[in-house]
Structure formats: structure tokens, C-alpha cells
Chains A and B, each alone.
Chain A
Amino acid sequence: MRRFIEKSVEKVLMASGAITSLTILLIVVFLFRQGAGLFRNSVVEENYSLAVNKTNPVEKLTPEEIKNIFDREIVNWAQVGGLNEDISVFRLNDITSYVSEEALGEEMQFLSHHLSEIVDTHPHIIAFIPNEYIRKDFKGKVLDVGKITPSDFFAGKEWFPTAQPAPLFGLLPLLLGTLWVSFAAILFALPFGLAVAIYLAELASTRTRAVLKPVIELLAGIPSVIYGFFGLVVVVPLIQKTFDLPVGETALAGSVILAVMAMPTIITIAEDAIRTVPRATKEASLALGASQMQTIFKVILPYCVSGIMAAVVLGIGRAVGETMAVLMVTGNSAIIPTTLLEPVRTIPATIAAELGEAPTGGAHYEALFMLGVILFLITLFISILIEIISAKQIKQQQ
């Protein structure tokens, strides 16, 4: 009987391990599958096409060019490799300025005929029209815009998922926003965190430590939305006033909040690392007439440098994935940041903010999953880095 129970417990443990691994694998596969779907989407909106006059030499337009043409930022065909002529833009609801409503017929039955005529008679036109109105006898030239390419995504400098006719899914502003905010956060958090870790591990009395340590650990338990709230009410106005900015919601505000949030992680890991320095090594330094400070900076810190690196990387990991607090204080404008005093938008904040309004299965939706994939790859890379560092640390201690 006992044997039987032990056997079944063993099976249950094995099964839970297997189920957990499978679930994680499934999530990853799902993420990648959805994300990869982005590259099966056409550059222009689904079921729409771009058409030009047959005489127009332009054959291909990039998503950016399309957006700029329809935003009237590109106004001459010469700018996109065509003739030196002004571009006239045509959207379906412009139809009434070309033909009267009566001519279209009661049920719009003549619409496709007129569209064909308009494109044919206006040599410099570009028309954004639904595929259903493009008949076989269409007299214009339908542009081959192709599918969204990986380079549109990975090297794209603009994130404009709701732009018509061609939404832009450029990763760079979001990726740079994320890295920018995270690294600045670590830059703030590292000196303070390290100082606290050194103090806790080497200088604090047992009693101070007994008070300080739980407080710091409590810091890690505060929900991130509270940090965001604090940032919005305290940090953002402070930054706005100090730097005399139009808005205080900047990368700087995000990094300050993230620094505070990453601090407990950095302190705890770094303190543990400092504590692994053997007593004998410290004593060897002191026995040579070194002061306590000399011992800390010349022996203890070099000894546990890989542990401190692990703390930093883990802190970055925490910062990269943080969503809520960052969403609340960074201003969320998807532009490539040049200074810390500009609003930025991070990958997790983008996913959180946009997933609700992106139509399921559409290009926007899949682009958000692709962002998820990128985020996953970043954190995966960070975990691998931690593994390598701690493996090195263990080797060093042997």
C-alpha cells in the first residue's frame, strides 16, 4: 500500500513538472506564431489597394512613403522616383468631388466604373480604394505594395499602427525607449543600491540591519501601480518644474521610478554576493594594514564583481519588463528618444495600452505579439547572461 502511494506521488510530481514545462512551451510557441503572422500582412490595410495611372512610372512604394504621401508630406512624384509632378491623393470619400451622387447610381452600382475612369483620366493621382471595386476592366495600375517585411518591422523608425492607408510598425522607437529607460534606471539604481548593499553587508550593526533589511524587502512587494501613482503625483511635477518642461512625463520620470523599483533586487542580490566573500580574504587585507574602506573597495568588491553584475542584470531584467509604472509616467509617445527629457514609450507599455483596441487577428494585433516576442527575447538574453555570470562566479569560488 505504502509503495503504491509513493509511486503515485512520484507520478504526480513528474506530471506537474511536465505540465508546467509544456505550458511555458505552449505560451512561447503561441507568442511566436501570432507574432510571425505580422509578416503575412499586406503593407496597406486589409482588402484595400493602391492604384495609380497607367502612365505613372512608379511601381513600388515603401510603407513610410505611402504614409507620407497620404499625410501630404510627400507632394511630388519625383520624391518617390516618379515624374516631376504634384501628387493628388484620392480616398474613397473624395468621390463626390469628382462625380455627382446621381451618377453613382442608387446602390452605388456605377462606383467601380467611375473609380476606373478617375484613375485613368488623372495622370498624377494615387487612389486608396477597396479591392471589391477593382474590376477586371480596371483602367489604372494597381501598385504592388507587397507584404510587411522584417526590415519594415525591425528597422522601422516609426510606430503608427492606426495610420491609413499603411500602418507603420517600426520597432526602433519602442525598443530604444525601453532600453533607454531601463539603462538610465540602472544608472541611477546601481550606485545607491550598491552603497546600501555594502552598508548592510559590511558596516551596519546587527540591529540596524534587522530594521533596514525588512524595509527594503517590503519595497519589492509594493504593487507597481502604486509606484506609478507616486511617480505621477510626485516625480513628474518635480521634473517638469526642475527642467522647465512643457510636460513632466518623460523618460527620466520612468527611469527614476524604475530605479526605485529595481533597487530591492539590486540590494538583495549584491548584498548576498558581498557576503560570499570569505572572512579569510577580508582578514588577509586587514592584516596587511589596509583600512576597512580600502578592504571594501580593493578586495571585497573585486572579489564579488560577478555577483554584483548578476544584480545589475537582474535589475535590468526587472526594469525591461515593467509595464504599469512606466505606462503611467513616461508620456507614451512613440518617438526615438534623443534625451532623457522627452516622452518615450516602452514595449510593455505599448502592448498593455494597445492590445485592447487592436482588432483580433489584424496586422496591429499581430504586431503587438511580435513586440511580445522581442520582449521575450530580451529577457531570455538577460537570463542567459545571468546564468553565464553566476556560473563564472561559482567557478571562481572553487
Chain B
Amino acid sequence: MSIISTKNVDFYYGDFHALKGISMEIEPNTVTAFIGPSGCGKSTFLRLMNRMNDLIDHTRMTGEILIEGQNIYDKTVRVDELRTKVGMVFQKPNPFPKSIYENVAYGLRVNGIKDKDLITHTVEESLRNAALWNEVKDKLKKSAFELSGGQQQRLCIARALAIKPRILLMDEPASALDPLSTSKIEDLIFTLKNDYTIVIVTHNMQQAARVSDKTAFFYLGELVEFDDTQQIFLKPKIEATQNYITGRFG
């Protein structure tokens, strides 16, 4: 039973047809990588899964996206509830101008949790899960901006984990980081797979190959090929995929 299921998704920015008939099934507790050249629609598709594109004016979507069997674009769905189920980590680290502790606690507070012990416990747990606890446990009250870029990104992951989502969407989470921080994030993705379903957009072929179970190749708004990562990287069925992976275009 798939946790995310999309059926014939079309998406438009004004007149621009950004996604063309995308259908995809994503299994729970897997890592799915979206690859493809810039502007191919992979980030747009990712942002449809927590309705982040609602914020952009003059956009239109047709088709269905089901998460745990529910159409998330149904009128009865509350967007803020959906987003607590589908967490997101962004391309650039974007901590709030608050303390490290408050950054992680924010998601709990806005969702109405007031129990201090519960919050403190969850903050610690989330920071541990994001492999950041040991580095920040003595400076939880310090501003999040004092952390390095890689630490900030792990803080953002901890922040997303704190509200216990089922799915974690990651939009090029390591593209702004140095190799060492990148490898830390990749290790993290590997462990998080046990508890979460992860969808990651990446420009980095090796990264997709290293962390994902399944890979989807997008090109010009279409889903060209979607298969096991090994299959995609070793024996792609379609020539365009082959060309992209081997770096002949893109």
C-alpha cells in the first residue's frame, strides 16, 4: 500500500505547463529521489505534496494527490493539518531568528502543545534524531544563526521532525553545504528512513545513487522514468535517462 499516490497531476504557472500528467506511487519507509535538469518540474512536484504551491499566485492544478488514501486537494482538508503530516526541509537552511531550542519547539507551539516537559523532551529527541544534540546541547538558548550552515540545516531537519510527520520532503537539502556537512545529512537520511517516508529532490547524481531506494527522472515537466535506484543508474530503460545520468546533457 503506497503512502503517496499521485494520479495524472498537471500543474500550470499561469500559461506555463509545468507538470504533465504525473502518476507515481511511493511506498512507506523508502527514500525516493527526484532528479532532472533545472526547470524540469521536480521541485514543483515535491511542493505539491504539502500544498506549498498554494502560496504562489496564478497557479492551477488538475489530477489527484492522495496521501494515506486521502486526496489532499479536497476542499475539506485543512492545509495546516496536512503540513504537520508532511514535513519539509528546504534548499537553504532557513532557521527562524530565535534560539536553537525555540526553533525546534516552534512547530509544537503553533500546533497548540503547551506541556513544557513534553516540549523539552521532544526538542531533545528531535535534535538527537537529527544528529545535532551533542553539538548544541550546551547552547540551546543561543541564536540559531550562530550555527554553521550544515548545523543550521540539521536544525531545520530537527525542526521538521519535532512535529512527527509521516513524510519528509527535502528540496535539495545539501545543495548549499560543504562536502562534510553533505555527508552528515546523507547519513541522517539513511537512519531517518526507518521512521519516515522521505522524498528528496537533488541535483547531485551520486547523492541520489547513495541515499535513495527509488529514483524518478523528470524532464520538461514529464516523468520520464521511475524505478529502483539501482535499475535507473545501472540499466535505465530510456535513453534520455541514460544521457542525463552520464552527464551528456543537463
> Does chain A bind chain B?
yes
The chain A residues found within 8 Å of chain B, CB to CB, are 206, 278, 280-281, 283-291, 294, 298-299, 302-303, 396
Q: How large is the interface on B (under 10, 10 to 19, 20 to 34, 35 or more residues)?
A: 20 to 34
Q: Which residue of A280, A289, A291, A302 contacts B94 across the interface (Cβ within 8 Å)?
A: A280
A206 to B88, CA, bound (A): 28
Given known A206-B57, A298-B110, contact A288–B94 (CB-CB < 8 A)? no
Do B97 and A302 touch (CB < 8 A)? yes
Do A289 and B84 touch (CB < 8 A)? yes
When C-beta atoms are compared, the residue in chain B nearest to A303 turns out to be B97
Does B17 sit at the interface, judged by CB under 8 A? no
Report chain B residues within 8 Å CB of A285.
Answer: 96, 106, 110
Does B163 sit at the interface, judged by CB under 8 A? yes
Q: Name 17 extra pairs, CB < 8 A, besides A280-B91, A286-B52, A288-B160.
A: A280-B90, A285-B110, A287-B83, A287-B88, A288-B84, A289-B80, A289-B111, A290-B80, A290-B110, A291-B80, A291-B110, A298-B106, A299-B96, A299-B106, A302-B96, A302-B98, A396-B97
> Whole-angstrom distance from the CB of A256 to the nearest CB of chain B?
34
> Whole-angstrom distance from the CB of A157 to the nearest CB of chain B?
45
Do A287 and B52 touch (CB < 8 A)? yes
**Bitwise interface map of B from 156 to 178 toward A, beta carbon under 8 Å scored 1, else 0:** 10011001000000000000000
> Whole-angstrom distance from the CB of A41 to the nearest CB of chain B?
54
Does B92 sit at the interface, judged by CB under 8 A? yes
> Whole-angstrom distance from the CB of B128 to the nearest CB of chain A?
19
When C-beta atoms are compared, the residue in chain B nearest to A295 turns out to be B110
Report chain B residues within 8 Å CB of A396.
Answer: 97, 145
Does B74 sit at the interface, judged by CB under 8 A? no
> Whole-angstrom distance from the CB of A298 to the nearest CB of chain B?
7
**Bitwise interface map of B from 85 to 101 toward A, beta carbon under 8 Å scored 1, else 0:** 00110111011111000
Q: Which residue of A280, A287, A294 contacts B160 across the interface (Cβ within 8 Å)?
A: A287
When C-beta atoms are compared, the residue in chain A nearest to B98 turns out to be A302
A291 to B78, CA, bound (A): 10
Do B50 and A287 touch (CB < 8 A)? yes
Do A289 and B110 touch (CB < 8 A)? yes
Given known A289-B107, A294-B110, contact A284–B55 (CB-CB < 8 A)? no
Given known A206-B57, A298-B110, A303-B97, contact A284–B81 (CB-CB < 8 A)? no
> Whole-angstrom distance from the CB of B79 to the nearest CB of chain A?
8
A287 to B96, CA, bound (A): 13
> Whole-angstrom distance from the CB of A45 to the nearest CB of chain B?
60
When C-beta atoms are compared, the residue in chain B nearest to A279 turns out to be B55
Report chain B residues within 8 Å CB of A294.
Answer: 110
Do A289 and B81 touch (CB < 8 A)? yes
Given known A289-B107, A298-B106, A298-B110, contact A284–B80 (CB-CB < 8 A)? no
Do A288 and B156 touch (CB < 8 A)? no
Q: Is the interface of A mostly helix, strand, loop or mixed?
A: helix
Do A284 and B98 touch (CB < 8 A)? no
Given known A206-B57, A298-B110, contact A288–B97 (CB-CB < 8 A)? no
Do A284 and B96 touch (CB < 8 A)? yes
Do B83 and A281 touch (CB < 8 A)? no
A345 to B160, CA, bound (A): 57
> Whole-angstrom distance from the CB of B239 to the nearest CB of chain A?
36
> Whole-angstrom distance from the CB of A140 to the nearest CB of chain B?
73
Can you offer 22 A-B residue contacts whose CB atoms are under 8 A? A206-B57, A280-B92, A281-B96, A283-B52, A283-B88, A284-B96, A284-B156, A286-B55, A287-B52, A287-B90, A288-B83, A288-B106, A288-B110, A288-B111, A288-B160, A289-B84, A289-B107, A289-B110, A290-B106, A290-B107, A298-B110, A396-B97
> Whole-angstrom distance from the CB of B105 to the nearest CB of chain A?
11
Report chain A residues within 8 Å CB of B57.
Answer: 206
Report chain A residues within 8 Å CB of B145.
Answer: 396
A72 to B60, CA, bound (A): 85
Report chain A residues within 8 Å CB of B110.
Answer: 285, 288-291, 294, 298
> Whole-angstrom distance from the CB of B226 to the nearest CB of chain A?
25
A280 to B88, CA, bound (A): 11
Report chain B residues within 8 Å CB of A289.
Answer: 80-81, 83-84, 107, 110-111, 163
Do B90 and A288 touch (CB < 8 A)? no
> Whole-angstrom distance from the CB of B53 to the nearest CB of chain A?
11
Q: Which of A289, A294, A298, A303 has the most CB of B within 10 A?
A: A289
Q: Which residue of A288, A298, A302 contacts B159 across the interface (Cβ within 8 Å)?
A: A288
When C-beta atoms are compared, the residue in chain A nearest to B110 turns out to be A290
> Whole-angstrom distance from the CB of B114 to the nearest CB of chain A?
14
Report chain A residues within 8 Å CB of B87.
Answer: 287-288
Q: Which of A284, A287, A288, A294 has the most CB of B within 10 A?
A: A287
> Whole-angstrom distance from the CB of B132 to the nearest CB of chain A?
16
Do B90 and A283 touch (CB < 8 A)? yes
Report chain B residues within 8 Å CB of A281.
Answer: 94, 96
A298 to B97, CA, bound (A): 10
Given known A280-B90, A283-B52, contact A303–B83 (CB-CB < 8 A)? no
> Whole-angstrom distance from the CB of A300 to the nearest CB of chain B?
10
Do B94 and A284 touch (CB < 8 A)? yes
**Bitwise interface map of B from 113 to 155 toward A, beta carbon under 8 Å scored 1, else 0:** 0000000000000000000000000000000010000000000
A298 to B145, CA, bound (A): 17
A285 to B109, CA, bound (A): 11
Q: Which of B57, B96, B160 has the most CB of A within 10 A?
A: B96
When C-beta atoms are compared, the residue in chain B nearest to A280 turns out to be B94
Do A283 and B92 touch (CB < 8 A)? no
A283 to B90, CA, bound (A): 9
A289 to B87, CA, bound (A): 9
Report chain B residues within 8 Å CB of A280.
Answer: 90-92, 94
A288 to B95, CA, bound (A): 12
> Whole-angstrom distance from the CB of A222 to the nearest CB of chain B?
33
